Amino acid sequence: MGTWRNQDPTPPPQRGSIKGSQLQLKLKLLLVSSLPTKTMDMKEVITQQTHLSLQLTKRVLSDEAKESNLVFSPLSIHVVLSLIAAGSSGQTLDQLLSFLGSKTINHLNSFASELVSLVLADGSVGGGPRLSFANSVWIEKSLPIKPSFTEVVQNLYKAAAKPVDFQTKESTKRNEENVVVVLCLENDHVYSGLPSLSYFTFANRVFVIVVSGNYIAVEVTNDVNSWAESETGGLIKEVLPSGSVDSSTRLILANALYFKGSWDEKFEASSTKEHDFHLLDGSSVQVPFMTSEKKQYIGAFDGFKVLGLPYKQGEDKRHFFMYFYLPDAKDGLHSLVEKLGSEPGFLDHHLPRQKVAVEEFRIPKFKITFGFEGSNVLKSLGLNLPFSGGEGLTEMVDSPVGRNLYVSGIFHKAFIEVDEEGTEAAAATAGVVALRSLPVTMDFVADHPFLFLIREGKTGAVLFIGHVLNPAQGT
């Protein structure tokens, strides 16, 4: 399992060797997202998804981000796994459904449909956050895609299917800077790297699945990259590098997601001042802190405080918030993550419900880029069969090729920036939890490592989650 950051975004090439005629499937994620819900069933799925998000956070924190800032989109990973489930069968499908908290594939597909139409709908026209979510499919023109998979892709994921010729558009050029390879044949090279993001905006990601082989379909590669650039407002210019698509490519599934929200009450840039931020090793760094004298949504719980900053809503019926989970102890982040992931529904019971006057109030500006290969994390959480073959991914194509597909990797990369204006992005318990009695005024000084997440209030969907160990990193 590998991690990439701004300092070293392109790891060395890897050579893959696959036995027999088996194919590899790699999923490349660099996304932004959000989720929906109308029924109690949907609430249950989102509660499960949120709990899974915290489990992923705990694993990535311990395995990949012990000394670095972290951000990822759990919702994007959920969408990708749902799409894989739509093309799965047998025990592989059963395990995916259990992992994603759905009872049946129809239940999962219904959830995905509401996700796309409700939470992922753009709210900028009415003065709310800008949300962009798009899918597209490029299919080898000689390969019949299963009607059932086509229906799911088009009707639920709103993706357009484009027949293309992967076999006659060839080139010998290879660019190994920005990898998104996903499926390759025996003895083919598998390049694993992620693009360096040099823009100064906030999150965006692009997920791509490729079934590949020996030569390069340059025109298709350019088509996918142009599509990704268009759907992300120019933030992702090259999701597919030269060499990631060739004459044995059979299928590309691409997903682009984007989020941008302005604070309901913006911070005054003139009030931003440098202060100490205390690191886990006991040292400190000077970073710019935003401040305000206005009342804030703050809740005090056992061992930590929670700040909720609402995004401008306008006429949008949804309620998007960014939450900051600040441990009381300066070295308490790991214990806090353990506590948050202790039981489903924990987040719902630990949110600030009312505004309070503030005395000392400061949160740092920060910018994070983080990428990781997530198959080992998912395996450690019990999702194994999609990665092991065994004819589990048979419902995508109407061909014997489908029996040899399996997921060989899931790649995810995210970027986030928080400043005075807002945020932009290119991922049930039976107990009763009591909120501590609130004093007349409260302090909230995020001057040591903390957890953050972006959440839609009506559904409980978590779009992004991460932690800040050092706000000076990435600036």
pLDDT at 252: 66
- DSSP calls for 289-317: EEE--S-EEEEEETTEEEEEEEBP-TT-S
- DSSP calls for 196-219: ----SS-BEEEEEEEB--SS--HH
Residue 443 above 90 pLDDT?
A: no
What is the pLDDT confidence band of residue 9, given thresholds at 50, 70 and 90?
very low
Task: Report the DSSP pairing between strands 251-262 and 204-210.
Answer: antiparallel
Please report, for the chain, the start and end positions of each structural domain, with discontinuous segments joined by +: 3-262+368-417, 269-365+432-468
Q: Taking residues 195-212, report their average pLDDT.
A: 38
Distance CA 341, CA 35 (A): 20
Residue 40 above 50 pLDDT?
A: no
What is the pLDDT confidence band of residue 272, given thresholds at 50, 70 and 90?
very high
The token pair at 453 is 């997440």
Q: How crowded is the C-beta side of 195, counted as CA atoms within 13 Å?
A: 27
**Distance (Å) of CA 433 to CA 348, 349, 442:** 10, 6, 20
Q: Does domain 3-262+368-417 have CATH number 3.30.540.10?
A: no
Q: Taking residues 394-400, report their average pLDDT.
A: 81
Share of the chain above pLDDT 90, in %: 17
Q: What is the pLDDT of residues 348-360, one digit of tens each?
A: 888 998 899 998 9
pLDDT at 118: 76
The token pair at 440 is 């007349």
Distance CA 93, CA 366 (A): 40
Distance CA 369, CA 148 (A): 37
Distance CA 302, CA 330 (A): 15
Overall CATH class of domain 269-365+432-468: mainly beta
Q: What is the pLDDT of residues 312-354, one digit of tens each?
A: 888 878 888 999 999 999 999 988 988 887 777 788 888 998 8
Question: pTM of the full predicted structure?
Answer: 0.73
